[in-house]
Amino acid sequence: MSPVKASPTARERARAELTREIKEEARRQLAETGAHGLSLRAVARELGMVSSALYRYFPSRDDLLTALIIDAYDALGEAAETAIAASAKPRVGWLAACHAIRGWALAHPHEYALIYGSPVPGYRAPQATVGPASRVPLAFMGVLRDAVAGGDMPAGDDGAVTGPGLGGALADQAAAIAALATAPGAPAVPAEVVVRAVIAWTQLSGMISFELFGQFVGSFEPADALFEYAVAHLAAFVGLDSAPSRARAPIR
């Protein structure tokens, strides 16, 4: 029989609630001053706390930034994973994840900028952020694994996509990532598909950043139609074509 998990004590509940309030106030300050202007003293002042009390929760500004970054990565990763889990086919899951990521970014622009915008001066992300930061890329890699396993994409480097072959350092890097992306005993995800997925991910991130930072004002605004068109082409570029029998265009 599984052991009964003890309920949180009143002190633990109070600490969790105050931690939540501290992070919420920090997010509000992100919207006003940006990450570079985040101040523990200002957060404490807005919450009616003395600074020394807040330091018991977050010993430094960097500790608070790290908590916000991990929360943002986890929330974005959960949005992508949930969208993929609700999709019946790999291509549908890929598109759904792209839309979910954009939707989260539009709803939380300052948190998105915290993790994908300009680096915060003087801040160095610790190892604790690596796992949360990997959730979205791993979710997309899971789609590729499912596509290969389900026959929606050929396994191995056998022409699933066409264009210049990989060579040199890029070939080695792609092979290493493809090995990590392939489950034991499962068909291999093509190395070139992995490279294309990375390219698609960077293009997706850039497109969302363009929208958040006002680069489409006066042109593609709102950007809904452009985004829909772009992510469909990115899916085909990766190899998740809606018409698998049609020859895919090579990279020029």
* pLDDT value at 251 more than 80: no
Residue 35: is its pLDDT beyond 70?
Answer: yes
pLDDT in tens, 182-200: 777 777 888 889 999 999 9
pLDDT in the model for residue 243: 47
At residue 226, the pLDDT reads 96
Q: How confident is the model at residue 3 (pLDDT cuts 50, 70, 90)?
A: low
Residue 55 reports pLDDT greater than 70:
yes
pLDDT number for residue 2: 57
Type of residue at 101: I
Look at residue 233 and tell me whether its pLDDT is greater than 90.
yes
Average of pLDDT values for 20-45? 93
Task: Tell me the one-letter amino acid at 208.
Answer: I
Contact (CB, 8 A) for 157 and 164: no
pTM of the model: 0.87
Task: Please name the fold of domain 65-238.
Answer: Tetracycline Repressor; domain 2 (1.10.357)
Is the distance from CB of 140 to CB of 94 less than 8 angstroms? yes
CATH of domain 9-59: 1.10.10
* pLDDT tens track for 84-111: 999 989 999 999 999 999 999 999 999 9
Residues contacting 180, CB < 8 A, separation 6+: none
Mean of pLDDT over the chain: 87
pLDDT reported for residue 246:
40
User: What's the 3-state SS for the chain?
Assistant: CCCCCCCCCHHHHHHHHHHHHHHHHHHHHHHHHCHHHCCHHHHHHHHCCCHHHHCCCCCCHHHHHHHHHHHHHHHHHHHHHHHHHCCCCHHHHHHHHHHHHHHHHHHCHHHHHHHHCCCCCCCCCCHHHHHHHHHHHHHHHHHHHHHHHCCCCCCCCCCCCCCCCCCHHHHHHHHHHHHHHCCCCCCCCCHHHHHHHHHHHHHHHHHHHHHHCCCCCCCCCCCHHHHHHHHHHHHHHHCCCCCCCCCCCCCC
- Decide if pLDDT at 244 tops 60: no
**In this model, does residue 157 exceed pLDDT 90?**
no
Q: Each residue of 18-31: pLDDT tens digit?
A: 999 999 999 999 99
Does pLDDT of 145 surpass 70? yes
Q: Percent of the chain, pLDDT > 70?
A: 88
Per-domain residue ranges of the chain: 9-59, 65-238
Task: Taking residues 112-129, report their average pLDDT.
Answer: 93
